[in-house]
Amino acid sequence: MALLEVDGLSKHFVVNGGVVPRLLGTRKELQAIRNVSFEIEAGQTLGLVGESGAGKSTVGNVITRIYEPTNGTVRYNGANVHELSGSDLQAYRQSVQMVFQDPYTSLDPRYKIGRTIAEPLKIHTDLSKAERKERVSELLETVNLEPEHRDRYPHELSGGQLQRVSIATALALDPEFIILDEPVSALDVSVQARILNLLMELQEEYELSYLFISHNLGVIKHLCDHVAVMYLGEIVEQAPTGELFENPHHPYTEGLLNSVPQPQPGGSKSTDGLTGEIPSALNPPAGCSFHPRCSYATDQCSVDAPPLETLDSERKVACHHWDAVVADQADERSELTHSSVQNDGTK
């Protein structure tokens, strides 16, 4: 059994609510996530990737019960998360933690670092003050901060150090599962490298499972075992990381991978990136929601929404024409190998 099972999850928000719009019939529903399903095994990392407005963060927020789902279930160790109450709920809240993008806003500027880290211990455990202090020191050491950081305020620390404090706070209650929502997006690359190394170390040491939400494909590729690609609230493709990056089956995944500027000049130029922009989630296109931007789209695509099909052991894709996408890539690859043989393969 997987540690976390998300099944058919949907979350709709009412925009323009209130009495008057209801009477006038101008009330609208925004479908932030639609029929999302995935599983995370213990000790594994699932990457959730997509552009802004894809619904990535909403998924994380439903799992942590910040939002109630409109439809579908989230099961953690087999139990429906949204039906938990009392001590079971408290246990769930200890076991599942979250780290956000911007440590400047997720830490209270008036609390010293030590107090921030000790707060979950105060709420969830019956440790004495001295024991809490000791645990805070341990946690600071775990995330490679100095004991004297305990008495500093957030404004005295750099962005990278603050993100470590967020991670220490998340670790305070010995969680099993951490949702990382863009944890390195606000950081410089050299600082990002340290945080990524730390996250990998912690995962190994404490056997943590991660849901890693990011728009940064390079980071996702580095850290995740499996990747789910979201577009306009739906998962369009899911596969083990290596396979997804080497052999994308969904045209959106392919376009997204082609759009990323590679830190290696002269590489593949982004000639076949994505055209157009993401449509509004208030008014998603009929049929496959990607069809207006898709070069493989046919008439069928504007009518029938493709289901998320399970292809082989672990790959799922929601596209009527994935076989054409794969065939095109095979053609391109054979051309590439052909030309690199001619160029004497000086890679």
Partner 1 sequence: MARLSVTDLSVTYRTGDGDLTAVDRVTFDIQDNEIFGIVGESGCGKSTLGDSFLQLLDENGSISGGSIVYDGMDLAAMTDRELADEVRGNKISMIFQDPNASLDPVYTVGQQLVETITKHLDMNKKAARERAIELLDDVGIPDPEDRIDNYPHSFSGGQLQRIVIAIALSCEPGLLIADEPTTGLDVSIQAQILDLLEELAESHETSIVMITHDLGVVAEICDRVGVMYAGNMVEIAPIQQLFDAPRHPYTQALLDSIPERHGMKEDLTVIPGHPPDLRQPPTGCRYNPRCDQVCGMECETGDVPPTYDVEGTDVMCYLYDEGVNEAYEGPTNIVAEPGGDD
* Contact footprint for partner 1 (CB under 8 A): 51-52, 158, 188-194, 196-197, 200, 215, 217-219, 221-223, 241-242, 255-256, 258-267, 269-270, 273-275, 277-278
Cβ distance to partner 1 smaller for residue 7 or 272: 272
CA distance 335 to 347: 16
On whether the CB atoms of residues 298 and 320 are closer than 8 A, the answer is yes
Cβ distance to partner 1 smaller for residue 122 or 269: 269
Closest separation in Å from C-beta 255 to partner 1: 7
Closest separation in Å from C-beta 14 to partner 1: 23
Closest separation in Å from C-beta 119 to partner 1: 27
| DSSP code of residue 290 | T
Q: Which residues pair with 105 in a beta bridge?
A: none
Closest separation in Å from C-beta 264 to partner 1: 6
Closest separation in Å from C-beta 52 to partner 1: 6
DSSP string, 242-259: HHHHHS--SHHHHHHHHH
Closest separation in Å from C-beta 266 to partner 1: 6
Cβ distance to partner 1 smaller for residue 76 or 296: 296
CA distance 236 to 54: 11
CA distance 284 to 290: 9
What are the tokens at 305? 């929404």
Cβ distance to partner 1 smaller for residue 41 or 51: 51
Cβ distance to partner 1 smaller for residue 74 or 195: 195
CA 254, 255, 257 angle in degrees (round to 5)?
A: 65
Cβ distance to partner 1 smaller for residue 78 or 263: 263
**Could you tell me where the DSSP H helices lie in the chain?**
19-24, 56-63, 86-95, 103-106, 113-124, 129-142, 159-171, 189-206, 217-223, 241-246, 251-259, 322-342
Closest separation in Å from C-beta 144 to partner 1: 10
Give the position of tokens 């095994």. 41
CA distance 306 to 236: 9
What are the tokens at 248? 């994308």
DSSP string, 273-286: ---S-PPPTTSPPS
Cβ distance to partner 1 smaller for residue 275 or 340: 275
Closest separation in Å from C-beta 70 to partner 1: 26
Q: Which residues pair with 47 in a beta bridge?
A: 212, 227
Cβ distance to partner 1 smaller for residue 91 or 200: 200
DSSP string, 81-94: GGG--HHHHHHHHH
